[in-house]
């Protein structure tokens, strides 16, 4: 939750209106999640930051991101991680691993590539929600991917 609040502070210091929403009801620094309210904020040009997962056990933050993206009708799910895309193998363990620029959902499944948990991935695949996997730790990458620049791996 604190990362979302910090992101909101950084965005608002740059003049970007934003709202932080959480499924956790007792989160004092953000609004309780409501699909209707999230869509209202988006319609008013605000950025909505979802934090705190789904508020239920057994679901990862990736599953929460996939679910929220589908609920609000997002165009794409951005998965910021510590590597710059999807690889043929773990690039931290295999120096010969090659990065994909684009890969299909089917190919990810067939080759058992590691992207996110199976529930989150299946939600996106079954609903045609493209995923962009990128290195969120590199300065400027989040802005670049939001601006639509080719970065990381597009799963379609």
| pTM for this prediction | 0.91
Nearest to 132 by CA among 150, 120, 117: 150
CB neighbours of residue 72 within 10 Å = 14
Q: How far apart are CA 74 and CA 33, in angstroms?
A: 16
* Span 43-65, average pLDDT: 93
At residue 28, does pLDDT exceed 90? no
Q: How far apart are CA 43 and CA 117, in angstroms?
A: 30
At residue 21, does pLDDT exceed 90? yes
**Secondary structure (3-state) at 19:** strand
Report the C-alpha dihedral over residues 22, 1, 147, 150, rounded to 10 degrees: -110
At residue 106, does pLDDT exceed 90? yes
Of the pLDDT bands very low, low, confident and very high (cuts 50, 70, 90), residue 88 is very high
């Amino acid at each position: 939750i604190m990362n979302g609040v910090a992101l909101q502070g950084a965005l608002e210091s740059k003049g970007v209106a934003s709202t932080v929403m959480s499924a956790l009801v007792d989160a004092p620094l953000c609004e309780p999640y409501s699909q209707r309210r999230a869509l209202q904020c988006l319609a008013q040009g605000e950025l909505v930051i979802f934090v705190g997962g789904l508020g239920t056990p057994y679901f990862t933050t990736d599953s929460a991101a996939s679910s929220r993206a589908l609920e609000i009708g997002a165009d794409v799910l951005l998965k910021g991680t510590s590597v710059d895309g999807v690889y043929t193998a773990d690039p931290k363990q295999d120096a010969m691993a090659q990065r994909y620029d684009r890969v299909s959902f089917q190919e990810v499944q067939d080759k058992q590539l590691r992207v996110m948990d199976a529930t989150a991935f299946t939600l996106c695949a079954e609903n045609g929600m493209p995923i962009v996997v990128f290195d969120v730790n590199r300065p400027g990458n989040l802005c670049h991917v939001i601006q639509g620049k080719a970065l990381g791996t597009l799963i379609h």
